[in-house]
Amino acid sequence: MRLDRFLSESGVATRSEASRAARRGEITVNGSIVRSASVSIREDEDRVCFRGEAVAYRKNVFVMLNKPEGYVSATEDKNAPVVTALLDERDAKRVFPCGRLDKYTLGLMLLTDDGELSHRLLSPARHVAKKYYYRIAAPLSADDAERLRTGVYIEGGHFCAAHELELTGEREGYITLTEGRYHQIKQMLYAVGNEITYLERVTFGPLTLDASLERGEWRYLTDDEVAALYSAAGL
């Protein structure tokens, strides 16, 4: 792999920054200064240092974002800010949201450039669980809760059931889904004559929203979190 590609995929420098840094003698490969960023390196074996810091190769990017209200789960939108605008510019050009949250839904969003992983995590056949904290406009009766657990019809004639429903109050609780239809929770509550007033995703498969992330903040996944995702995706 070319050195400039290695550095840009690792999030250290753009390709043109890498070229400039090489000309200035700021990059070493196995201890020797390289003056051109177009040289080939072995990403698994060679020790690359950029301005004195060792660079760990990053094949893919995995970001956990605490999505704020008002952002669209997309990389581009004409009318509203997009979630990738909250990331570093270099990552923003690379990743896409793994699944969608509605504009007014908050909480855990995974963004990655790993298409195969994303595809598998979202595949209905995989039944990857997503847990949401909700608040609703009117108290939920025992009958309504039972209907959400056994299933209701939503738009398009889809029959959807909560995988789990935990009531923490008359107007709040946690609902877990293993599928992801458009506006699914809103529509399910609507089907029992209620209305969502607040919705926040708190888990996505093996990931739990990091409580230290403020709304709009993000961090890279840890190696353990990435491994858990791969395992949930059957990879």
98 lies in the binding site for ligand URA (CB under 6 A): no
Of 83, 3, 84, residue with least CA distance to 49: 3
Determine if 66 is a binding residue for ligand URA (CB under 6 A). no
Please say if 46 is a catalytic residue. Answer: no
Contacting ligand URA (CB under 6 A), which of 83, 101, 148, 207?
A: 101
203 near ligand URA (CB under 6 A): no
Give the nearer residue to ligand URA in terms of CB position, either 184 or 203. 184
161 backbone dihedrals φ, ψ, rounded to 5°: -125, 150
User: Which of 62/107 has CB closer to ligand URA?
Assistant: 107
199 is a contact residue toward ligand URA (CB under 6 A): yes
**Least Å from the CB of residue 183 to ligand URA:** 4
Residue 183 as a binder of ligand URA (CB under 6 A): the answer is yes
Chain positions contacting ligand URA, by CB under 6 A = 101-102, 105, 183-186, 199
